[in-house]
Amino acid sequence: MPIRIAPAKDNIQASLTVLSDTLSAADLQVMIGLAPDQSWERGDPIGRSGRAFQRFSGWSLRGAPSEEPPASHISALLDRIAAAKENITTVAGDPRVHSVSLWVWSEGRDFGLDLPPSCLGDIAALGAALKIDVYDGDEEVSLLRFAIRRLTGRTGTQPHDTDDAAGHE
């Protein structure tokens, strides 16, 4: 009889991630005017295996994971970047920048995204894409998704380690 793992509670997080294949993480920090919670350089190893490497240099701010609704995470993140909004908008339009993305990810069975128009307007004004990852909280399904990523060459070990470094593409 297989061992069943109790489903995790919903765990939601939001992050703002800026990627570039020509600018360094330090360059991005200077341009944005805020210290990141996480940064990395193009070519840095991803995960512990050392077999996959970052495709872009990156700068990222992340909210703490919690069971708060997604809109609360996004609002808190937008509040954190309020002083740098103009800089982020400028960075988003820079041709050396690959992407500016506001990510919301969830590990849990229930996920709803209810954002007021003002919040959507703030995201659009940044020039940022809104991207969403939902993981169903089932350990077996998560392991299956991880195996599929490995087979398709996407070797990240966590939702925010996949695709485009600390964010996604």
Domain range list for the chain: 12-161
For residue 68, give every residue at least 6 positions away whose Cβ sits within 8 Å of its Cβ, in sequence order, or none: 12
Structure tokens at 96: 């050396």
Distance CA 117, CA 6 (A): 36
- Encode burial over 50-67: b for 16+ CB neighbours within 10 A, e otherwise: eebebbbbbbbbbbeeee
List pLDDT tens digits, range 61-116.
998 888 888 888 899 999 999 999 999 999 999 999 999 999 888 876 566 778 88
Length of the chain: 169
Amino acid at residue number 25: A
Range name among 15-24, 27-36, 125-134 with the lowest pLDDT average: 125-134
For residue 36, give every residue at least 6 positions away whose Cβ sits within 8 Å of its Cβ, in sequence order, or none: 25, 28, 29, 59, 60, 61
- The answer to pTM > 0.75 is no
**Residue 145: is its pLDDT beyond 50?**
yes
When pLDDT is cut at 50, 70 and 90, the band that residue 143 belongs to is low
- Please tell me which residue, 83 or 154, carries the higher pLDDT value: 83
**Residue 4: is its pLDDT beyond 90?**
no
Distance CA 139, CA 135 (A): 10
Structure tokens at 45: 């190893």
Classify 23 as helix, strand or coil: coil
Mean pLDDT of the chain: 79
**Residue 136: is its pLDDT beyond 90?**
no
Q: What is the mean pLDDT of residues 53-67?
A: 90
